[in-house]
A = this chain, B = another copy of it.
Amino acid sequence: MAWLFERVAVVGVGLIGGSLALAARRAGLISHVTGVGRSEANLATARARGIIDRATRDVEAIGPVDLVVLAVPVETTAIVARALVPRLAPGTVVTDVGSVKGVIVEALEALLPPTCPFVGTHPIAGSERSGAAAAEVDLFQDACCVITPTPRTDAAALERVEALWRGVGARVRRMAPADHDRALAWTSHLVHALAYTLAGAINAEDPSRFALAGPSLREATRVAASLPELWRDIFLANRTAVNEAITTFSSQLERLRAAIAAGDGDAIARLLEAGRAGRRRLESER
8 contacts between A and B (CB under 8 A): A126-B214, A191-B216, A192-B216, A196-B275, A196-B276, A210-B278, A219-B220, A220-B220
The 10 closest A-B pairs by CB, nearest first: A196-B275, A203-B278, A199-B278, A228-B272, A200-B275, A224-B279, A200-B274, A219-B219, A124-B214, A210-B282
**Chain B residue at smallest Cβ distance from A202:** B186
Which A residues lie at the B interface, using CB under 8 A? Answer: 124-127, 143-144, 146, 173, 183-184, 186-188, 190-207, 209-226, 228-229, 231-232, 235-236, 239, 242-243, 246-250, 252-254, 256-257, 260-261, 263, 265, 268-269, 271-283, 285
Question: Secondary structure of the A side of the interface?
Answer: helix
**Pair A220/B232 contact, Cβ less than 8 Å:** no
Nearest chain B CB to A174 CB, angstrom units: 12
**What residues of B have a CB within 8 angstroms of the CB of A256 in the complex?**
193, 196-197, 246
Partner of A243, one of B196, B260, B265, B273: B260
**What residues of B have a CB within 8 angstroms of the CB of A254 in the complex?**
250
Tell me, in angstroms, the Cα distance from A283 to B207 when the chains sit together.
11
Nearest chain B CB to A149 CB, angstrom units: 17
Nearest chain B CB to A189 CB, angstrom units: 9
Contact (A273, B197) CB under 8 Å given A211-B144, A236-B265, A261-B243? no
Nearest chain B CB to A88 CB, angstrom units: 30
**What residues of B have a CB within 8 angstroms of the CB of A276 in the complex?**
196, 199, 224-226, 228
**Chain B residue at smallest Cβ distance from A231:** B272
